[in-house]
Structure 1
Amino acid sequence: MQVNGVAALVTGGASGLGGATAAALAEKGASVYALDLPRAVEDAPKVEGVTYVAADVTDADQVQAAVDEAAGGRHPLRVVVNCAGIGPSARVLSKKGRHDLALFRKVVEINLVGTFTVLTIAAEAIAKTDPLDHGQRGVVINTASIAAFDGQVGQVAYSSSKGGVVGLNLPAARDLASSGIRVLTIAPGIIDTPMLATVSDEFRAALAEGVPFPKRLGLPSEYAALALSMIEQDYLNGEVIRLDGSLRMAPR
């Protein structure tokens, strides 16, 4: 499927993986709607072809409004990339006590339920578009993490949420096949996003050293390039692809 001349919705689109993907899609000729929280939208850089939409992925009404805006433009909505997410760390039991149950719910609500909310509402809109070759109408790309497979100490909530994203991938692809909508997932490793901006150079170097090859942090632009390739490969469906330099995370 060609990106030029379609509308695309990118969650978490103001920075990081989402920001890089939104910019890459716009450069390829898509009309991009970058969904993010209000404060993130206020601080987002101006990118030609990208319209920022303030919305919370856990609020179905706000997601519906964002999807309506993306689908109501001059180009059909055919691409969705879910990048919104959080990754706080907490152990099941620690010196501070047991894991905060509210925090666990929040992580799952944003990372998993938020992803499903966007997927479901957007799929309804994409299903109404005119079919292209072989009945295809669009594609949804979700973001998991290698923590879905190799969760470390303190990642119980994050790993659970991202494992859920992996788990929904294939059945969602099968559910939406009759509507001509593909569903795919990227599971990134250690990517140099704003979440790593506050750590020391020494810590960043240690993270990079743990990657088998290439021994460096991944780049948001590499995530964006993979997403674009997945969009264009029409026969790729129901698959989870790791983007991690063959890294397998140690327990801590």
Structure 2
Amino acid sequence: MQIEQHSFLVTGGASGLGESVVRAIVAQGGKVVIADLNESMGQALVDELGDHARFVRCDVTSGDEVQAAVDMAEKEFGGLQGSINCAGIAVVQKLLDRDNNPANLDAFSRGVNINLVGSFNVARLVAASIAKRVANANNADSSVEKNADNGVIINTASIAAFDGQVGQASYSSSKAGVVGLTLPLARELARHGIRVMTIAPGVFATPMMDTIPEKAREQLEAGVPYPKRLGNPNEFAKLVTHIIDNAYLNGEVIRLDGAIRMV
């Protein structure tokens, strides 16, 4: 699928990996609805990028708010060709604290709800929009191309889905759930010509990393075999645009991590 003149929903698109994806899509002539909770950063990005971008405040766990983002894409850009879900949070807590008190269940559930349920919520509503558009096109034109690449849904997992660390029970399990969504959704949506892919990034230079001590950052960089540094958000965006372009990428999870394996 070409990016030019096609429209995509990017959740978590106001900063970090999502922002890099938004910029890459617009740079290639695509159109983007940025769905994020940060209104000031999201609107500032739209003001910078111009007519090919729109912003909507969106909690990915809300069916109504995600549907509003889909509706905006349909109204402003004539429909959606795909979504890139970058919205997520990292919940850090051990199962037991130093005094053997149990972890906070609400905190665990919040991480799973945003990272996993939110990914499913976005996928279901975007897929419905694309499938309805495709069905209408098929009804109007019997000569529609067989094996047409009608849409693509790209979710964001993490290497924590495979190499979870102590204190990452919520984050790791929620991202493992995102990995587990990939193949069944790809198989189900194949009849609509909609692909489903997942990227599992390693340690990237995002605003989340700005909150950790410099020594911890250096240790993370040292753990990457090559290149021995944090990932650049532009490298994540390059993989996203390649997935959009390459119609034979479907039902797979791609680790983007410089060969790091957390132990």
Counterpart of 1:99 in structure 2 is 103
Q: What is the alpha-carbon distance in structure 2 between the residues aligned to residue 121 and residue 168 of structure 1?
A: 15
| Paired AA for residue 17 in structure 2 | L
Q: How does 1:202-213 map to 2 (within 5 A)?
A: 202-213=215-226
1:55 and 2:58 matched: yes
Name whichever structure is richer in helix by fraction.
2
TM-score, normalisation: structure 1: 0.95
Percent of pairs identical after alignment?
50
TM-score computed with the length of structure 2 as normaliser:
0.91
Match of 1:123 among 121, 127, 130: 127
Kindly report which structure 2 residues correspond to 1:91-170, keeping only aligned pairs within 5 A, or say none: 91-95=94-98, 97-129=101-133, 130=137, 134-170=147-183
Structure 1 gap segments, 5+ residues each = none
Does the CA contact (< 8 Å) of 1:6 and 1:75 recur in 2?
no
Partners in 2 of 1:92 and 1:201 — Cα distance?
Answer: 27
Partner of 1:11: 11
Superposition pairs for residues 183-202 of structure 1, below 5 Å? 183-202=196-215
Unaligned runs of 5+ in 2: 138-143
1:30 aligns with 2:30: yes
CA contact (8 A) 1:16 1:193 kept: yes
- Alpha-carbon distance in 2 for matches of 1:133, 1:21: 29
Q: Residues 178-235 of structure 1: CA distance to partner in whole angstroms, max 9, x if unpaired?
A: 1110000000000111001122333211110011111000011110010000110001
Moved over 6 A (4+): none
> Aligned residue pairs: how many?
248
**1:133 Cα offset (Å):** 5.9
Distance in 2 separating the partners of 1:218 and 1:144: 15
CA positional deviation for 1:30 = 1.0
Question: How many angstroms does 1:132 deviate by?
Answer: 5.7
Greater shift in the superposed pair: 125-134 or 160-169 = 125-134
Tell me the SS of whatever aligns to 1:141: strand
Larger radius of gyration: 2
- Output the CA distance in 2 between the equivalents of 1:119 and 1:59: 13
